[in-house]
Amino acid sequence: MEFSNTTIRGLFSSSIQFTIPTYQRAYSWKIENWRVFLDDIKEQASRANNTSNGNPYSFGNLLLETIEKDCKYDVVDGQQRLTTIVIFMRALYNVLTQKGEGQEKLDELAEDFFQRRNIIKLRPVENDRACFDAVIVNNNSYTISSPSQQCIVEAKVFFETELAKMEINQLRGLKDLTLNSTICRLEMNGKKEAALMFELQNNRGRSLTNMEKLKSYFMYQMYVESNSEETNNNVEIIANFFKDIYKTIYDIKNVSEDSILIYHCFAYLNVAFGYRNIDDIKDEMKKNHNAMDFMFNFSRELSISFANLKKLQSCECYYYKKLCKMSQPLPTFVYPFVIKGYKYYGNDEKKLNQLFRVLETLIFRYHLISSRADINSRLSDVIRNFDGDIDKLRESVQKKMKESWYWSDEKCKEVLSGSMYGNPILHYLLWEYEESIQNRGYKIGSVEIENEQIEHIAPQTEPYEAIEAGYEVNENNLYSDDFREKYLNSIGNLMLISGSHNASIGNKPFSSKLKSYNDNPLLNQQAEIKNFLENGEQEWKTLQIKRRGDNILKFAYQRWNLSTEVK
| Percentage above 70 pLDDT, the chain | 93
Domain boundaries, the chain: 2-189, 193-405, 426-559
With contact defined as beta carbons under 8 Å apart, do 238 and 218 qualify?
yes
CA distance 527 to 548: 13
The residues that bridge with 65 in the sheet, in sequence order, are 74, 188
Angle at the Cα of 306 (from 264 to 129), degrees rounded to 5?
Answer: 145
**440 pLDDT tier (thresholds 50, 70, 90):** very low
pLDDT at 557 > cutoff 60: yes
pLDDT given for residue 445 in this prediction: 53
**52 pLDDT tier (thresholds 50, 70, 90):** very low
**124 pLDDT tier (thresholds 50, 70, 90):** very high
Cβ-count burial 6-41 (b if 16+ within 10 Å, e if not): ebbbbbbbeebbbbbbbbbbbbebeeeebeebbeeb
3-state secondary structure 152-212: HHHHHHHHHHHHCCCCHHHHHHHHHHHHHCEEEEEEECCHHHHHHHHHHHCCCCCCCCHHH
With contact defined as beta carbons under 8 Å apart, do 171 and 96 qualify?
yes
pLDDT given for residue 273 in this prediction: 93
Q: How many residues does the chain have?
A: 567
**How far, CA to CA in Å, does 286 sit from each of 226, 267, 289?**
15, 19, 8
What is the β-pairing status of strands 115-116 and 119-120? antiparallel
pLDDT at 203 > cutoff 60: no
CA distance 21 to 29: 17
pLDDT given for residue 220 in this prediction: 80
pLDDT at 107 > cutoff 80: yes
Mean of pLDDT over the chain: 88
With CA atoms as reference, report the closest residue to 298 among 367, 357, 222. Answer: 222
pTM: 0.77
pLDDT given for residue 48 in this prediction: 65
pLDDT given for residue 204 in this prediction: 40
pLDDT at 141 > cutoff 90: yes
